[in-house]
Structure 1
Amino acid sequence: MARPDPEAVAQEVFAALADPSRRGILAALAARGPATATDLAAQLPITRQAIAKHLGLLAEAGLVTAEPGEGRRVRYRLDSAPMKVAQQFLAALARDWDGPLAALRERMNEGG
């Protein structure tokens, strides 16, 4: 199976994290562990329907995984793998910038 493109994974993670409601859902899952949409609605100022929609987007980005709960309930658990890919993408981007930024800083110091 082909490995996903790190830039594509990072793009999905960043898009998912752009919304404060989704960040709140991730924070709640990180703090309290796996939960259902109903559990999250009781903890957050978001409707259960909105949470379900956000959970779907988070699942598409790979940041949460759905697992069977009691009865027909679905519990969502954090998955840190896509976040790690996004962190590695940012680290590589920062390394790519370090050289040119250092050169610019040196050039500016020479001119002053």
Structure 2
Amino acid sequence: MTDDEDRVFKALADPTRRFLLDLLFARDGRTLTELESELDMTRFGVMKHLRVLEDAGLVVPRKSGREKLHFLNPVPIRLIHDRWIDKYTERHVSALAALKAELEKEP
């Protein structure tokens, strides 16, 4: 496993960070103040969680004037999916497709 994957798994392991990702999925480009208003924790605490998400590449900050907006980057999650989930489900899907074809054969 690579360091990048380790950072993604670490970031996704925390429910607060998953909640932040859900908020950004629902509406991308939020400020720290907007994200903080959804959580019962200090601004500093939210900043620490955002830093972990940024280090994992799951959140990308962008300056817009005086504001810093946060955007969801789903690519690292997709890479995890492709490596760790897709390869395990492919065999089952192939088996089900073969079973379906066999059952639908004309007698």
**Residue 71 (structure 2) aligns with:** 77
**Residue 32 (structure 2) aligns with:** 37
Matches of residues 90-105 of structure 1 in structure 2 within 5 Å? Answer: 90-91=84-85, 94=88
Give the alignment's TM-score, normalised by structure 1: 0.71
List runs of 5+ in structure 1 lacking aligned partners: 1-6, 99-112
Give the alignment's TM-score, normalised by structure 2: 0.74
Pairing 1:89–2:80 present? no
Structure 1 residue 46: deviation in Å?
Answer: 2.5
Kept after mapping to 2: 8 A contact 1:10/1:89: no
Residue deviations 1:24-78, cap 9 Å, x none?
111111112211111101122222111111111101000010101231x211100
Structure 1 residue 93: deviation in Å?
Answer: 5.6
Kept after mapping to 2: 8 A contact 1:62/1:82: yes
Q: Which runs of 4+ in 1 moved over 4 A?
A: none
Number of residues paired by the alignment?
A: 92
Within 2, Cα distance between the matches of 1:46 and 1:29?
A: 18
| % identical equivalent positions | 33
Within 2, Cα distance between the matches of 1:19 and 1:78?
A: 16
Structure with higher RCO (Cα < 8 A, 6+ apart): 1
Q: CA RMSD in A?
A: 2.2
Answer 1 or 2: which has greater strand percent.
2
